[in-house]
Structure formats: structure tokens, C-alpha cells
Amino acid sequence: MMELFAYDHIIAGFLVLIIGFVFHFIGQLISLIDWKIAVHLKIAERKLLSEYKDYEQGMAMADVLIGWTYLFIGVGLILGTPWSFKLAWVPGIIFIYHSLSFWFWSRKQEQKGHKYRSTLGKTGWFLMNLLSGISIILVAW
């Protein structure tokens, strides 16, 4: 397998572990277990409308159901196991999906007068997920 650059699989593995396992899995698990703690830790928005909260909890459940696999994929990438490169497509595509859905969902919220995040926070979360997803897919390629 051709490398993009030296140790690219290790960097991709850490991206999967940090963004996928820690942020998407553990963060969303906290949101499902106790919303108030998630708000206190700034994982969840404080003044979220109830119709948005239902959506957020649905997304949290989806992240928790798939997110536990990120631990194995991330460790596999760090170790350079062949199976992890095949499985890395899953978080890569999900991170890109997360970035795009978050960007457009946030924009719709703002158009309706509900701004929950700063422009810098929104752009940072969007870019972190998008660039990580693209990087992981390139390494998996």
C-alpha cells in the first residue's frame, strides 16, 4: 500500500480515535446518558429548542451505535493492520457526512433566528470533520 507521507496511517488512526471515538462516541454517549451534564461540558447546546433536541438525540444515538467501532479502527490504523485500511472508509465517510449535515443544519437554525454556536465554532467543527474525513479516506485509498 502506497503512503501519502510517512506515518500517514498513524495520523489517520489518531484522527479516528480523537474525533470519532472521543468526540462522536464518548461525547454523544454523555448526551444520551445525561443531557444536563452534556450541556455543562458544552457538548450540547443550552437553549436548544425541543424539536432540535429530538434531532440531536437521534444523531447521538446513531453516533453511539457506530462510534464504538472507531476505537478498533483507530488502533488498527496506528498498528498498520491491513483490515483497518478497509474499515477506515466508514469513519472517513461519516466525518464528511457530519461536517456537511452540521454546516447546513446550523445555517438553517441561524436563518430561523436560533444561533447556538459562534461562526468560529461552527467553521472549526465543520473543517475538523471535513478535513479529517478526507484525510482518512485518502489514507484508506
Name the pTM for this structure: 0.80
Q: What's residue 42's pLDDT?
A: 81
For 39, residues 6+ apart whose C-beta sits below 8 A from its C-beta are 45, 46
Q: Consecutive sets of 10 residues in the chain, 141 residues long: mean pLDDT of each?
A: 73 90 90 90 79 82 90 93 90 90 85 76 85 86 81
Q: What's residue 2's pLDDT?
A: 63
Task: Calculate the alpha carbon distances from 139 to 5, 40, 93, 125 in Å.
Answer: 9, 36, 13, 21
